[in-house]
Structure 1
Amino acid sequence: MSLLIRIRLSLMMFLEFFVWGSWYVTMGTFLGANLAAKDQEISLAFSTQSLGAIIAPFLVGLIADRYFHAQRILGVIHLVGAGLMYLLYTSSDFSAFFPILLAYMILFMPTLALVNSISFNQMKDPAKEFSTVRVWGTIGWIAAGILISSFAWDSQEGLSNGLLENTWLMAAIMSLILGVFSFTLPATPPKAKSSEKVKLSELLGLDALALLKNKNYAIFFLSSVLICIPLAFYYQNASPFLTEIGVENSTGKMTIGQISEVLFMLALPIFFSRFGIKKTLIVAMLAWAVRYVFFAFGDANEGVWLLLVGIALHGICYDFFFVSGQIYTDAHAGEKFKSSAQGLITLATYGVGMLIGFWAAGQISNNFLIGDRMHDWQSIWLIPAGISVIVLLFFTSFFKKEEIKTPNNPS
């Protein structure tokens, strides 16, 4: 892969995740502060990610893989997405906001697969080359968060003046830029023939259900779905929580989670090869529980270090569980179910698991509402901590130690 292509792909990844990070982290805070949305409505907004993840295989499998070049589909989606982002910027109430967001996420979620497809198509050795391109996506997410805090849109003054709505305008502009830029990316023609029959089971990864006959994999699969329930609490509640208790530059501070994600991604191969799959997954689930306990007892003053450590644990929580899980799934699937298995685990976690989690987070947050807008955050955070411990005990009790062959570069 030439240097020029590497730069173009890296810029694509940067813009892709800059667009997502521009609004996703602060959406809960925005909905509460600007649109006076209730906790159940905020959970409904976040659930659009799960609905998009469920529908994404149809868009990618039926359209991008069969009829059109991936870079052109990416460009069209982001140009349409820019318009939808602008409509979200101008929305004045949740009833108008939600259907636009739902339409946007149904379009956006397939782009996560498209940028990977465009990248892989240009690489001779993806195992060595992909991580150096994909890391620019994380940098883009971090840059968006730092900009939001630098402009003070997420400060108490910014919230009182309604400035957080500018995140949607920023996302619209960057989506427009990415949409135009996508048409200059290297050609990625469809690999499947349009005349070939499409099986629904293949699109959804249901062929890989045969893997569940293996008891160990079935325990891992169920644990993956269950652990996504407490994960949804972090995505949905972290920004409103930090803002409500008065943490300054909260969005910028939350980028610590993405920075740690990069660092622990580098540490994962060493840990994985030395301690194996079971201990790696146990450490991840334990980190989930510890993070929420730190959130429960931290504050914006002397206890702010607990909050920062809790955010920094995101790298362990995500990399040690989800990336390790992708490696474990790949090892069990073999060539026959390799693609189907990854599709199935994505559908189960980001689709079903987090859909349940977003709903639960909304119900629980509303149950611990104090007055009109304040919350009993300690009680709220102890619930996902408890769920994490239960999933950890379940996994530890039933998952047997297993040796698997690991690739040289799991990222």
Structure 2
Amino acid sequence: MRTTTKIQLMVMMFLMFFTWGAWYGQMGKYLIVGLGASGDQTGNAYATFSIASIIAPFFVGMISDRYFSAQKVMGVLNIIGAGILYFLIQTKDPDAFFWYILAYTLSFAPNLALSSSIAMNQMQNPEKEFPSIRVLGTIAWIAVTNIVGYYAIGDKVTIFQISMFTSLALGIFAFFLPDTPPKATAKASSLGEILGTEAFVLFKDRSYAIFFIASVLVCIPLSFYYAHANLSLTESHMSSVENKMSLGQVSEVFFMLLIPFALSKFGIKKMLIVGLVAWIIRFVCFGYGDGISSEWILYLAIVLHGVCYDFFFVTGQIYTDNKAGDKIKNSAQGLITLATYGIGMGIGSKISGIVLDKFSTTDASGAVTHDWTSVWMVPAGIAAVVLVLFIVFFSENKTKAA
């Protein structure tokens, strides 16, 4: 790959994740503090990304892959996204906000598949070349969250203004990316290929079925983290929340590097169990930590992100890859992604909003307070149930799908 091409792809990843990171972790705080939204309205707003994640594969697989160059589709979608964000930042109504953020996430979600397609189309050896380009996304997320934290704008509409400008920049820049033409075959991806139904054969293995169910269920507590962690830490008297939360992404990079060693040392089952235990500890820390008397507990909750995400979700992707074999590998990854980020996190986002409302009180002056200990015990309890289910029924074996 030419150096100029590699730089182009790195800039693409940086802009895409900078755009996403500017608002995603902060949206819950903005809605509740800035717009006076309820927990349910906040949960609904986060559920839009799950809806978009379900629809995006159909768009990319049945339309983009067949008719248009990927970089042009990315350019058009991000320019449209910038336009939607322009109208989103004008609204003060949480109900109207839902429709704007739904429209925006529908324009943004395809970027994840499109960016991978554009990058890998330029690579001779994606396994070696892709990580050095993808890591710019994590760096961008760390950078933008630290900017948001430094200027204390996590509860301001500024987070979406940043995304609007960088989305426009990415949209224009995308037209200058290396050409990634539609696939030569005239045959679009079938509905079964997109849904990953070819991978249903994996469910004949009871342990894989247990892993699959556990993956969907654990996305429910994961949704609590994305929707409420920022506001929870802020109301727990932690300062510079966004800056400190970026330590979670640093942790993610560190533990990802440990995965090859940990897999060979401990095996799949033990790593997945460690990931589930880490989720439980993390939510308990969020529930009982305080920025004044026990801030170290909140720091622990933040840095456990790497263990939680890498040791369960990334390791789970590797496990799926190994179980599926070459023939149904893509279908299996598509199925697990659709089920977790689409269905699991969609359900989790809705539940997280309902739970937040249940443990919220409004005083005579109209000020809202949240019982965060009770809120966080809900996802901790769900993760504990998943852990028990997993330990009892899951057994590791090396058999691949036929």
Q: Which TM-score band applies after superposition, normalised by the shorter structure?
A: over 0.9
Q: Deviations over 1:168-198 (max 9, x none)?
A: 111000011111111111111112533x254
Asked if 1:399 is matched to 2:394, the reply is: yes
CA distance in 2, matches of 1:356, 1:263: 30
Gaps of 5+ in 1: 406-411
Shift of residue 109, structure 1, vs aligned partner: 1.0
- Structure-1 residue corresponding to 2:379: 384
Asked if 1:31 is matched to 2:31, the reply is: yes
Asked if 1:91 is matched to 2:78, the reply is: no
Look up the SS of the partner of 2:89 in the other structure: helix
Look up the SS of the partner of 1:90 in the other structure: coil
Shift of residue 205, structure 1, vs aligned partner: 1.2
Q: Deviations over 1:42-99 (max 9, x none)?
A: 0000000110111011110011211111111111111111111121111121122111
Q: 1:17 to 1:258 in 2, by over 3 A?
A: same
Preserved contact between residue 204 and residue 344 of structure 1 (Cα < 8 Å): yes
Preserved contact between residue 276 and residue 403 of structure 1 (Cα < 8 Å): no
CA distance in 1, matches of 2:211, 2:152: 42
Match of 1:359 among 346, 350, 357: 350
Q: Deviations over 1:290-319 (max 9, x none)?
A: 000111110111211111111111111111
Preserved contact between residue 278 and residue 402 of structure 1 (Cα < 8 Å): no
Shift of residue 105, structure 1, vs aligned partner: 0.8
- Structure-2 residue corresponding to 1:187: 179
CA distance in 1, matches of 2:382, 2:136: 33
What does residue range 245-284 of structure 1 map to in structure 2 within 5 Å?
A: 245-284=236-275
Match of 2:294 among 303, 307, 315: 303
Look up the SS of the partner of 1:370 in the other structure: strand
- Structure-2 residue corresponding to 1:143: 143
CA distance in 2, matches of 1:402, 1:312: 31
CA distance in 2, matches of 1:84, 1:320: 36
What does residue range 141-220 of structure 1 map to in structure 2 within 5 Å?
A: 141-154=141-154, 164-191=156-183, 193-194=185-186, 196=187, 198-220=189-211
CA distance in 1, matches of 2:8, 2:260: 28
- Structure-2 residue corresponding to 1:409: none
CA distance in 2, matches of 1:306, 1:2: 46
Q: Which amino acid aligns with 1:271?
A: A
Q: Give the TM-score taking structure 1 as reference length.
A: 0.94
Preserved contact between residue 277 and residue 403 of structure 1 (Cα < 8 Å): no
State the identity as a percent: 49
Shift of residue 323, structure 1, vs aligned partner: 1.0
CA distance in 1, matches of 2:234, 2:399: 43
Q: CA RMSD in A?
A: 1.3
CA distance in 2, matches of 1:237, 1:152: 17
Gaps of 5+ in 2: none
Q: Deviations over 1:90-139 (max 9, x none)?
A: 11211221111101111211110111111111111111111111110001
CA distance in 1, matches of 2:48, 2:337: 15
- Structure-2 residue corresponding to 1:128: 128
Q: 1:81 to 1:312 in 2, by over 3 A?
A: same
Preserved contact between residue 65 and residue 192 of structure 1 (Cα < 8 Å): no
CA distance in 1, matches of 2:370, 2:113: 37
Preserved contact between residue 276 and residue 402 of structure 1 (Cα < 8 Å): no
Preserved contact between residue 65 and residue 188 of structure 2 (Cα < 8 Å): no
CA distance in 2, matches of 1:226, 1:49: 17
Q: 1:78 to 1:395 in 2, by over 3 A?
A: same
Q: 1:389 to 1:87 in 2, by over 3 A?
A: same
- Structure-1 residue corresponding to 2:118: 118
Q: Deviations over 1:220-276 (max 9, x none)?
A: 101100111111110011011112223211111111111111111111111012111
Preserved contact between residue 64 and residue 182 of structure 2 (Cα < 8 Å): yes
Look up the SS of the partner of 1:25 in the other structure: coil
CA distance in 2, matches of 1:404, 1:132: 32
CA distance in 1, matches of 2:276, 2:2: 40
Shift of residue 326, structure 1, vs aligned partner: 1.0
CA distance in 2, matches of 1:273, 1:137: 27
Q: Which amino acid aligns with 2:261?
A: I
- Structure-2 residue corresponding to 1:408: none
- Structure-1 residue corresponding to 2:313: 322
Preserved contact between residue 61 and residue 188 of structure 2 (Cα < 8 Å): no
Shift of residue 382, structure 1, vs aligned partner: 1.2
Match of 1:287 among 278, 281, 306: 278
Match of 2:218 among 215, 227, 237: 227
CA distance in 2, matches of 1:402, 1:370: 49
Q: After alignment, is 37-46 or 183-192 more displaced? A: 183-192
